[in-house]
Amino acid sequence: MSLEYIISMITNNWPMFLRGAGMTLLISIIGTIFGAVIGLLAGVIRTIPTPERKLKRALLKIVNLILSVYIEFFRGTPMIVQAMVIFYGSALAFGVDMDRTLAAIFIVSINTGAYMAEIVRGGVISIDKGQFESAQAIGMNHVQTMWNVVLPQVIRNILPATGNQFIINIKDTSVLNVIGVTELYFQTKTVAGISFKYFEPFFIACILYFVMTFTVTLILRYIERKLDGPENYSMIGQPPPQLMLPKNAKID
Amino acid sequence: MDNVIEVQHLSKSFGNHEVLRDIDFSVNKGEVVCIIGSSGSGKSTLLRCINLLEKPSGGQIIYHGENILDEKHDIHAYRTKLGMVFQQFNLFNNHNVLNNCIVGQVKVLKRSKEDAEKIALKYLKVVGMDHYVNAQPKQLSGGQKQRVAIARALSMEPDVMLFDEPTSALDPEMVGEVLKVMKELAGTGLTMLVVTHEMEFAKEVADRVVFMDKGVIAEEGTPEQIFNNPREERTKTFLKRTLS
Ligand SMILES: Nc1ncnc2c1ncn2[C@@H]1O[C@H](COP(=O)(O)OP(=O)(O)OP(=O)(O)O)[C@@H](O)[C@H]1O
Ligand SMILES: [Mg+2]
């Protein structure tokens, strides 16, 4: 009975579920990417060594203070409350409703950014001091050191944490139904409202959420393996010089 | 004689711990200078002050007639002129062997990728690591890593090479291969400043030996003089302890 009902519910309502799942994915993908970029920037700024010059030092201190407030505030308040404050607050301040999808992406991005900033900071701190020193000894400035030596290693190291954040985002976008974003939870609620059934639509949503998060897990594992490169390297024998250059000799 | 680097009245304190005191010395072009001395005497700190990984507390470092401790001096450009080899190798973990030797040339010296590749291969050949261009640092032995680190520093074509106990982190059977490379380099007229515990190496290769003790240069001279006729009592004590 119930299984049949679930199947008929899917066949009757699949566009609703699909659109909801699509919206959930859209918000969480863009939110995670933006959040990771925000986190990288914030994390890198927060690990700049204290400059010699007084003016620069004061400036950095102010920027760091602002970043700390941002990070602590968004980590310390629930996203569901932030969504209400930002969405209705902006309506109050500017007299117009924000686009709900944009508001959703904005909220997820800054939330992810706050968490990622700490993850990145931890990632930078965990890189061996010798990596910084050898880069500096070769004449690299701070930006070159970060870009060419430290961040590639940090990104590899924080990939699991970023994946984790992505999965959290897929699940937590559900709270954005409070500002009427048509993500999966909102759509499921709508289906339930029309059909007066609760178990079946939410069971379907449950499966859909799991399929999304598990797919992300698998993709990230694959990327991690790719980034780690081959287990073995090929010895270069005595071929002519141009053959000695490895195919993957890109450094940009 | 042309001196490449001249250190005058250099001092360094960590908090109230004075690690270097009134150091005066210079490295001449084409010279191999070995710094010896007991653990904690400030050898590494001196080397790290010279390439500004540590900020000296006082004194001057003169390079090409200019005090590089002046605020306005471009320390990044200066550092490209000093090749540094660390005890712990410190190869860039995210680059393979070839790219370790290329990235500084391209990003800092702004050489073209083709030129950089040629130069990197030339020096990887010098250290006998040209067959390993594709390998990742984690796939190499300690001795191999250190030889790549030497090639990386040479690829920047510096005026002087600084070595901070390049063989101290190596298993005994790998010490030889690194010392052999360093001897060959010394033979080519490269200017080298080497902190070492390898007394045989210092005896054989150095033009001048500097003995440091408790943050000062206690004695310096030719290897024959330092090892055979040390003037200072503390030099004698140190040598007796290490050579026995
Ligand atoms: N970053 C630092 N902070 C505080 N003290 C330091 C620091 N680096 C070195 N020192 C101190 O400076 C002194 C000299 O250290 P240094 O590493 O230069 O000695 P060294 O001659 O290289 O010894 P070794 O042969 O063991 O390498 C030591 O007493 C050490 O504890
Ligand atoms: Mg030392």
Query: From the CB of B14, is ligand 1 less than 6 Å away?
Result: yes
A63, exposed or middle or buried, with CB in 10 Å at 0-12, 13-18, 19+?
middle
Q: pLDDT per residue over B38-66, tens digit each?
A: 999 999 999 999 999 999 999 999 998 88
Q: What is the pTM of this model?
A: 0.86
Spatial neighbors of A21 by CB under 8 A, at least 6 apart, are A184, A208, A212
Check residue A237 and give its pLDDT: 65
Q: Tell whether ligand 1 has an atom less than 6 A from the beta carbon of residue B166.
A: no
Q: Quick one: pLDDT at residue A130?
A: 96
Note the pLDDT tens digit of each residue in A32-73: 999 999 999 998 899 888 887 889 999 999 999 999 999 999
Q: What percent of chain B has pLDDT over 70?
A: 100
Structure tokens at A110: 């800054």
Report the C-alpha gap between A39 and A59 in whole angstroms.
20
Q: Kindly state if the Cβ of B196 falls inside 6 Å of ligand 1.
A: no
Does pLDDT of B203 surpass 90? yes
Would you call B93 and A144 a contact, using CB atoms and an 8 Å cutoff?
Answer: no
How many H helices and E strands in chain B?
A: 9, 10
Among the bound ligands, the one closest to the CA of B23? 1
- Among B42, B10, B7, residue whose Cα is nearest residue B25: B7
- Could A139 and B79 be called an inter-chain contact, meaning their C-beta atoms sit closer than 8 Å? yes
Q: How far is A233 from chain B (nearest CA, A)?
A: 5
Under a CB-based contact definition with an 8 Å cutoff, are residues A154 and A120 in contact? Answer: yes
Taking an 8 Å cut-off on Cβ atoms, the answer to whether B102 and A241 are in contact is no
Coil, strand or helix at B28: strand
Residue-wise pLDDT tens digits, B117-175: 999 999 999 999 999 999 999 999 999 999 999 999 999 999 999 999 999 999 998 99
Q: What are the phi and psi torsion angles at B25 (to 5°)? A: -170, 170
* Contact (Cβ atoms closer than 8 angstroms) between residue A138 and residue B108: yes
